Amino acid sequence: MEEEYQAPEVSEKELEIVIDILRTLSKTVKTFNVYPKDNPIYQKFAAEICGKFNTFFELNDELPLYIEQYSLLYKGNKVFYSEERTDSIPLLLFADGLRQIVFHKEISPEEITDFIDILRFAPKSATSDDDDIVTLLWEKNIRNMGYTAVEDTVDDRLAIEESLIQEPAGREDIQSPEAGGPHYPGPAASFFSSQPGIEPLTDTDIEAIRGELSSLEEAPLLSSAVELFFELLSDEKDSEAFPEIMQALGKILEIRMKKEGIGDAIRILGRLKDISAVYQDPVRTGLIKNVFLKAGSPENISLLFRGSAKSDDITQYLLFLDVDSIPHLVSVLAELRDRKQRRLLCEILAGIVRKDIDALSGALQDDRWYLVRNIAMILGMTKEAAAVKPLEGILKHPEPRVRREAVKALAGIDSGDTKKLFLTAMDDEDLTIRISGLRSLRRFKDSELFRILSARASLEKLKKISFEEKKELLETLAALDGKSAFSLLSELFRTKRFIETDEMAEIRVSASYGLGVVGTPEAVALLQEGAASKRRPLRETCLKILKGLQ
């Protein structure tokens, strides 16, 4: 009987090295939880895991791992398996949305231990949405490691951090102050109806109030003063006192912010917003605007985030601000260290900047790459077509984490102008960016686009790219035009050699994934043929795809 021949996707030696790396990685995570960094045992395990990575990188330039719920796969081979409910690396990564991680040859010992620290700390933060693995990867900024997450989730690597880097699915848009600000009963007209017994302020009265404001620190006193000023504003004849009242309200707002009285500040801004809708006089509306400008000063914004204010209060306060405050908000964003606060401020900025996308253009030129990445994320969160042009400008940014975020942001914008940008991303030197660009192109049904991509799918060109990229390219072609893709995919699928190289095996497996996307009876017939193959990678892949099509 003829002996069954199975061509491995990877050599036994390579598989053994990868399995050893992951087995050691699991032990190292547990060891680091027990021993401090200066302990010899800690140092021994750190040196050992780094040595095993170096052994692998003597053979390859990168180590890609696909993530399933209980398993880690390398080139289609299961190299790690664990059904533990705690301390399971695959389950931990899978649960936080990660579907692939890639270690690059240049990864340093410090970056390896950073990744191990993430695996250590993430389970302890299970109750916090802000400490998921994608966010922690974004925070650590591991330059020589990439990842792919569901909806790409970030970060990230915000980050961002790569979990800061993806907007939660189904999240409602941030409301404008008109929709989400404080509500005060009664129409504006009745609010300003004349009230007998109220006399306009004299110059002496104004000076007396101004002098006393500097010594007023107690909230009840300030609250009484605020009520007095708004009562006086109800007398529309008192135009001369208007500038002084605006100055006084601005001063009170400043005092309350320093005392963490954000609730009082919000009430002042809410009532001023109502008043600004009534006045048509540009002088008065200008004076009201000055109070809002003061509320949006860098000092007041910093006070919000340094204090103990709740997220809802911070959001309500900042959404009263307009585009004039955007430079101050961006300045504070660049200095924030707390992940939760950065995420919150990014969401708020997205709500404000929808009124003027160009207000963020200057920030995209900043030398701090992490700030530029945050701005790219904010532009994506707006989902506005006007954000496409500024995002295009950073697709050539020297920092790959910025380019990744730009492609992710573009993927969330429904505009035909993004098509050429995703094609540009396909030529990026970063694998994650190329794959993101490919996936994003699937929403376009365009014969010219199919022609361009199919030119990249020749046998010789496919041999030169990684398995992950082969698979994504052929799946994308199938998604763009299943009927036209079938002939190409079937030809690649049927290409056989007596001695099948790794490249050819990968091409046939990748073609089977494309046939699964096509899903026609003819495609299913080919997959059933592959399910009977003697070659294990092809057989198992076809069986898996057929099961998913049932």
Please give the full DSSP string across 267-327, using - where no structure is assigned: HHHHHHHHHHTT---HHHHHHHHHHHHHHTSHHHHHHHHHTT--HHHHHHHHTT--GGGHH
According to the model, what pLDDT value does residue 370 have? 95
Burial group, residue 548, by CB count within 10 angstroms (0-12, 13-18, 19+): exposed
The C-alpha atoms of residue 406 and residue 386 are separated, in whole angstroms, by: 14
**Do the Cβ atoms of 146 and 101 come closer than 8 Å?**
yes
Residue at token pair 């404001």: 213
What average pLDDT does the segment 221-246 reach?
Answer: 73
What average pLDDT does the segment 436-442 reach?
Answer: 94
According to the model, what pLDDT value does residue 219 have? 66
According to the model, what pLDDT value does residue 131 have? 62
The C-alpha atoms of residue 516 and residue 527 are separated, in whole angstroms, by: 8
What average pLDDT does the segment 99-104 reach?
Answer: 94
Read off the pLDDT of residues 260-280 as tens digits, 9 standing for 90 and up.
889 999 999 999 998 888 887
**Do the Cβ atoms of 446 and 419 come closer than 8 Å?**
yes
For residues 501 and 182, the model is more confident at 501
Provide the terminal-to-terminal Cα distance of the chain, rounded to the nearest Å.
35
The C-alpha atoms of residue 410 and residue 380 are separated, in whole angstroms, by: 6
Q: Is 159 left (phi over 0), alpha (psi -120 to 50) or beta?
A: left
Read off the pLDDT of residues 199-225 as tens digits, 9 standing for 90 and up.
555 556 555 555 555 444 556 767 777
- How would residue 330 be classed by pLDDT, with cut points 50, 70 and 90? very high
- Reply yes or no on whether the pLDDT at 149 is more than 90: no
Bridge-partner residues for 407, per DSSP? none
Give the CA dihedral 383, 387, 388, 391, nearest 10 degrees: -110
Read off the pLDDT of residues 515-524 as tens digits, 9 standing for 90 and up.
999 999 999 9
User: In 3D, which of 115, 96, 127, 118 has the Cα closest to residue 50?
Assistant: 115
According to the model, what pLDDT value does residue 180 have? 38
**Cα atoms in the 13 Å half-sphere on the side-chain side of 286:** 4
Residue 377 CB neighbour total at 10 angstroms? 31
According to the model, what pLDDT value does residue 550 have? 83
Q: Is 519 left (phi over 0), alpha (psi -120 to 50) or beta?
A: left
Query: Do β-strands 77-81 and 71-74 pair in parallel, antiparallel, or remain unpaired?
Result: antiparallel
- How would residue 136 be classed by pLDDT, with cut points 50, 70 and 90? confident
For residues 180 and 24, the model is more confident at 24
The C-alpha atoms of residue 501 and residue 505 are separated, in whole angstroms, by: 6
- How would residue 229 be classed by pLDDT, with cut points 50, 70 and 90? confident
Residues 6+ positions from 38 with CB-CB distance below 8 Å: none
Read off the pLDDT of residues 8-61 as tens digits, 9 standing for 90 and up.
468 889 999 999 999 889 888 877 776 678 867 678 888 999 999 999 999 999
Query: Do β-strands 71-74 and 98-104 pair in parallel, antiparallel, or remain unpaired?
Result: unpaired
Within 108-169, residue ranges assigned H as helices are 109-121, 133-140
Residue % of the chain over a pLDDT of 70? 80
According to the model, what pLDDT value does residue 232 have? 72
**Do the Cβ atoms of 323 and 355 come closer than 8 Å?**
yes
Computed over every residue of the chain, the mean pLDDT equals 83
